[in-house]
Amino acid sequence: MKCSICQWVKIVDMNNEALTQQLFVHGEIEGAALTVGASVVTHSLGLKKFEVVYDKREGIESARFKVVDIEVDMLQHPFTTRAYLEPQVLIIGQHDVGETE
């Protein structure tokens, strides 16, 4: 069974006012038995303009997130499974990765 790894990302300004919220899809894994509380290690997230992207710049450490929810959508065929990671907040001006990756 395929499972999409997703994460809600809230983008705020320097005054902590919400600008937008996006669902970032890290990718799909096949056959993994993820449970709530499991950890997922991935690249840190950053912003390129208002788009959420991986921050792959040199010197940026990887990030570890916990799975907080597992969703099985039985209304779609084939059934879809999504694992949601802890939500993250990115601040415009502090989490910008620039034009290079």
How far apart (Å, rounded) are the C-alpha atoms in residues 4 and 56? 21
Q: Letter for the amino acid at 32?
A: A
> Sorting pLDDT into bands at 50, 70 and 90, what band is 30?
confident
Confidence at residue 50, expressed as pLDDT on a 0 to 100 scale? 82
Mean pLDDT of 38-64: 90
Checking if the pLDDT of 83 tops 50, the result is yes
Give CA torsion, residues 46, 48, 53, 54, to 10 deg.
Answer: -60
**44-48 and 39-42: which strand pairing?**
unpaired
Residues 6+ apart with CB under 8 A from 18: 10, 11, 12
Tokens encoding 18: 């919400």
Checking if the pLDDT of 89 tops 50, the result is yes
Residue pLDDT, tens place only, 14-26? 898 999 999 999 9
Mean pLDDT of 22-34: 88
- DSSP conformation class of 77: S
